[in-house]
């Protein structure tokens, strides 16, 4: 059995305060791949399917995934990473300008700053040791 997605379209709606886009499941799956890349060295208990056992870890992964989708939508990215570098993007009251090649991880994933903070607070980023 395959690992369940970290977040649902309903969780994305709750996170962003906006209706989930029509392709929310695809965007969440792609964002989950980005989160997986950020977690390559994370250690936490999982079930036989690779799903986290701890409810706090599950919640952190869902929040980080939603933050990643939110970031990609604001940046005009469709989840492919092709628009990972933005130049003058505006959506509602949010406006981004300039170009950025900064990534929050060393493996080339353009991780959303909010996603990175969620993972750090949960102790899931490199250098964090959790008392499992």
Q: Where are the domains of the chain?
A: 9-121
Q: Cα separation of 58 and 127, whole Å?
A: 20
Residue that is written with structure tokens 């009251």 in the block: 93
* pTM metric for this prediction: 0.76
Give the closest residue to 61 by CA, choosing from 21, 8, 24, 17.
8
Q: How confident is the model at residue 118 (pLDDT cuts 50, 70, 90)?
A: very high
Q: What is the pLDDT of residues 47-104, one digit of tens each?
A: 998 889 999 999 999 999 999 999 999 888 665 555 545 555 666 666 666 655 544 4
Expressed in angstroms, the distance from the first to the final Cα of the chain is 25
Residue that is written with structure tokens 């933005």 in the block: 86
Query: Left if phi > 0, otherwise alpha if psi is -120 to 50, otherwise beta: which for 54?
Result: beta
Q: Are strands 94-96 and 89-91 parallel, antiparallel or unpaired?
A: antiparallel
DSSP 6-65: S--HHHHHHHHSSPPPTTHHHHHHHHHHHHHHHTTT----B-TTS-BSSHHHHHHHHHHH
Q: Cα separation of 46 and 42, whole Å?
A: 12
Q: How confident is the model at residue 115 (pLDDT cuts 50, 70, 90)?
A: very high
Q: Cα separation of 110 and 2, whole Å?
A: 25
Lowest mean pLDDT across 7-11, 37-41, 42-46, 84-88: 84-88
């Amino acid at each position: 059995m395959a690992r369940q997605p970290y977040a649902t379209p309903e969780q994305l709606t709750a996170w962003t305060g906006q209706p989930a886009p029509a392709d929310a499941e695809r965007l969440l799956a792609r964002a989950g791949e980005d989160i997986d890349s950020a977690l390559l060295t994370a250690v936490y208990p999982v079930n036989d399917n690779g799903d986290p056992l701890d409810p706090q870890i599950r919640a952190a992964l869902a929040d980080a995934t939603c933050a990643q989708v939110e970031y990609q939508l604001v940046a005009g990215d469709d989840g492919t990473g092709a628009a990972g570098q933005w130049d003058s993007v505006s959506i509602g009251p949010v406006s981004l300008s300039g170009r950025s090649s900064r990534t929050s991880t060393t493996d080339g994933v353009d991780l959303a700053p909010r996603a990175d903070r969620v993972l750090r607070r949960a102790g899931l980023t490199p250098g964090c040791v959790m008392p499992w």
